[in-house]
Amino acid sequence: MTSVIDVSNLEKAYEQKNVLQNISFSIQQKEIFGLLGPSGAGKTTIIKILTAQLLFEKGDVKVFQRPVSEMKRNVNRKKMGILTDNSGLYIRLSIEENLLLYCRLYDVPKTAIKEALNFVGLYEERKKKVSKLSKGMLQRVVLARAILHQPKLLFLDEPTSSLDPTSTAHIHRGLRSVTDKLKWTVSDK
């Protein structure tokens, strides 16, 4: 099986304090991989490094068998979906209007909005302003945005925080089905 992510001897420091030391792991195609640990353990830092949002001091990090620095290029960035603790949504716009902006950004048809919102159970709420959403609904919109362009690799930083148990179970089942749709192969450019 092909590695999608390879991390070897990764080190990262903030203000001379090491937060990551000698981190190594490999993630295979279609594998669901979880980073577990207490708050402050470096989970979000690792995700930010893997998505080329943060530089690191030492080690070798590859995504799609390329140096992680290449993930900054737009063609490679479109291969990733990212859910972080910062929603990045426009609160004065509706759910649908927010996702329409991302359709334009990722050059996907607006019909993708319906599929993404059905996945998170919010299609009927699509006209609702983001400012009127509960924290759990907001989290589901951010997840819809992360999968809108059907990325080949999905990074989820606490995807079910603020969700009730029923919604959490729905998202977990859905993420398994999303895994089956990921079609990355070594030959992708």
pLDDT of res. 178: 67
Please name each of the domains of the chain with its CATH number: 1-73 (3.40.50.300), 78-189 (3.40.50.300)
Q: Which two tokens stand for residue 175?
A: 């993420």
In this predicted model, which residue has the larger pLDDT, 135 or 50? 50
Q: What are the two backbone dihedrals, phi and then psi, of residue 71, each rounded to the nearest 5 degrees?
A: -70, -10
Share of residues in the chain with pLDDT > 90 (%): 50
pLDDT in tens, 14-26: 988 999 999 999 9
> How far is the CA of 59 from the CAs of 23, 47, 108, 155, 170, in angstroms?
8, 15, 35, 20, 37
> Among candidates 6, 155, 151, which has minimal Cα distance to 68?
6
What pLDDT band is residue 165 in, cutting at 50, 70 and 90?
confident
pLDDT in tens, 142-154: 989 999 998 888 8
Q: Which two tokens stand for residue 12?
A: 């990262």
| DSSP conformation class of 169 | H
